[in-house]
Amino acid sequence: MCGIVGYIGDKDATPILLEGLRRLEYRGYESAGVAILTNGDISIAKEPGKLGELEQALTRKPISGTLGVGHTRWATHGLPNKMNAHPHTDFTGRLAMIHNGVIENYQAIKTKLQASGYEFTTETDTEALVNLISEFYQNGHTLEEAVRSALSQVEGTFGIVLISKDDPDLLIAARRGSPLVVGMGEGEFVVASDVAAIISHTKDVTYLDDNEVAVMSRNELVIKTIDNLEVNKRVEKISFDLDKIEKSGYDHFMLKEIMEQPQTIEDAMRGRLLLEEGTAHLGGIEHEIDSLLYAPKMLFSACGTSWHAALIAEYMLEEWVRTPVEVEYASEFRYRDPVIERGSVAFVISQSGETADTLAALKESKRKGAKVLALCNVVGSTIARESDAGVYLHAGPEIGVASTKAFTSQVTVCSLITLLLARMRNIGVSKGVEIVNEMKTLPGKVQSILDHHSVIKEIANEFHKSQNFLYLGRGYNFPVALEGALKLKEISYIHAEGYPAAEMKHGPIALIDENMPVVVIATKDSIYEKVITNIEEVRARRGRIIAIATEGDEEMKNHADHIIYVPATLEFLTPILTIIPLQLLAYYIAILRGCDVDQPRNLAKSVTVE
Ligand code: AGP
């Protein structure tokens, strides 16, 4: 979703803002713009389309200055055109502001301001807010006071950064619901919606919390609440290096992230597997072990890929820990007044840790008295900070919009939690040791699937012109079917559906003919025979089978048109292996169709609006 960068210092702001916006491109956007204070006036350049359009505009008509803001916009109010692109100025042209989030009462603000003679030129909610700030500013408030006063009247979410042509030594940022982080350099500050835009300047950062305002001059940073109370913030260090957010020789971030999975799965387990005791050690949730062990129910809320990981957690925890688990789309959970039994534990899963619906589900769970545990990838993210406890995925920055390595890390962490609780409840040391030993082999097994990527490439070659795909799986691999279908539709724009294999005959079977590729996850597990029956039902209708099967399964050759083999593992760990070929299949098909896999149309990496 929208990318935000602001700069104050002694360097030229334009290249700094553009580089920051480039690093935030992965979040998804449709237009871009900058506003720079130049010789006492605000110069603005903005263009619809990709950042390259803005860069060209700035080459044609350069602007420079040492104070400025830059933005990539993912449209919520109004078309993604030049007029609606950020930054937006107020009616007088004194202020320029960028905004991420949604101002819910913007219409009321706009109507009131119009009645006082303000004129509006865009369809955005942001323009209402910058003019509200302007009204206070013109009535004798300082810029900081004007921001705080205006924000106290605003309903909705915002991450804003603004400058004034009358305050050349001032950059102001504020947040509620949309992430903002301030990077602290020597005589300069870079504020952004994501550390990716800051890391090349400094590793010292402080994260703004909701209802906080950062007031930056070249030599000082003061953080206050909207109610004017000064806050002492912790300075934190960004824990990764620049190469983690670069393609490092790969054509796309998505491919790089798929290929990184042997390492990221290893990282998710690092220091967390105890071989002798046959269990897992998870420092982040240790103090909540009793809550987990005695919970009458566990509730999981998440969105998209993270929701698929939660479904796998449901299968794992119910099988091994025997605690009832409920999994819900965070967007549904937040509004349906869910019943949360006393003592229940609520899990939220989120790669970004900023997904608005998941954050709302977290807050609703807390409000209803549940302990909330978060599984997040982004360190210091809002969800990570607002939960009672949690486990980090340690997958490193995920830049490709389509989530890949975060998913396998999420499932790995869920299997660690399952192992930890199962060992305290139902299973003995020898079973625990067997599981630990098997988990240790997973990175190598993932590597061996990646090494055979050419088989998957050939299959992609044959099917990349298909209009529809069906993905089928059962048990632990039903969520994998959903995730495989999501990957394909996200990046190749092919219609794809994931289904529990047996459910197919209750409807989707009507779609099957000789043109329908059906991807079936059919590993040698407790329901293998049942899946074979489902495959035969597809074949009887001339559907074309692409099977994900277990190495050594020669029998599969009698059932499938194409086979991608994965190594054998324990049944509950299979999703960590079976998803890998499906990620690669989606990737190669999208490439053959000429799609922009890292920044697919209409999608945002972290969805910070409802
Ligand atoms: C995954 O490929 C998607 N882009 C999307 O479904 C994503 O998983 C979802 O928006 C949740 O994001 P989160 O994990 O950052 O909360």
Q: What is the pLDDT of residue 572?
A: 98
- Return d(Cα 419, Cα 426) in angstroms, integer: 10
Judged against a pLDDT cut of 90, whether residue 239 lies above it is answered with no
Q: What is the pLDDT of residue 606?
A: 79
Per the annotation, the verdict on 82 as an active-site residue is no
Summarize pLDDT for 477-492 with one digit per residue, the tens.
999 999 999 999 999 9
Question: In the numeric block, which tokens belong to residue 159?
Answer: 């991450």
Q: What is the pLDDT of residue 227?
A: 96
Summarize pLDDT for 165-181 with one digit per residue, the tens.
999 999 999 999 888 99
Q: What is the pLDDT of residue 2?
A: 85
Summarize pLDDT for 242-296 with one digit per residue, the tens.
888 888 889 999 999 999 999 999 999 999 999 999 999 999 999 999 999 999 9
Per the annotation, the verdict on 297 as an active-site residue is no
**What does the pLDDT average to over 321-331?**
96
% of the chain surpassing 90 pLDDT? 89
Summarize pLDDT for 375-389 with one digit per residue, the tens.
999 988 999 999 999
Walk across the sheet containing 158-164 and list its strands: 88-89, 95-100, 158-164, 167-176, 212-216, 221-225
Q: Which of 308, 358, 404, 607 to mutate to test the pocket of ligand 1 (most atoms within 8 A of CB)?
A: 607
179 within ligand 1 shell (Cβ under 6 A): no
Alpha helices for 69-226 (secondary structure H): 106-115, 126-138, 143-151
Q: How confident is the model at residue 610 (pLDDT cuts 50, 70, 90)?
A: confident
Q: Report how far ligand 1's centroid is from the alpha carbon of 230 (Å).
A: 35
Specify the ligand 1 atom closest to the Cα of 487: 2
Q: What is the pLDDT of residue 72?
A: 95
384 within ligand 1 shell (Cβ under 6 A): no
352 within ligand 1 shell (Cβ under 6 A): yes
Strand 544-550 and strand 88-89: pairing? unpaired
Among residues 46, 256, 405, 605, the one annotated as catalytic is 605
Task: Output the pTM of the full model.
Answer: 0.85
Summarize pLDDT for 185-220 with one digit per residue, the tens.
999 999 999 999 999 999 999 999 999 999 999 999
Q: Are 607 and 512 in contact (CB under 8 A)?
A: no
Q: What is the pLDDT of residue 338?
A: 87
**What does the pLDDT average to over 431-443?**
98
Give the closest residue to 133 by CA, choosing from 104, 169, 92.
Answer: 92
Q: Are 505 and 537 in contact (CB under 8 A)?
A: yes
**What does the pLDDT average to over 408-433?**
97
Q: What is the pLDDT of residue 604?
A: 81
Q: Are 212 and 226 in contact (CB under 8 A)?
A: yes
Q: Which of 1, 305, 596 to mutate to test the pocket of ligand 1 (most atoms within 8 A of CB)?
A: 305
303 within ligand 1 shell (Cβ under 6 A): yes
**What does the pLDDT average to over 542-560?**
97
Q: What is the pLDDT of residue 521?
A: 98
Cα–Cα distances in angstroms (integers) from residue 241 to residues 139, 177, 202, 237, in the given order = 46, 27, 11, 11
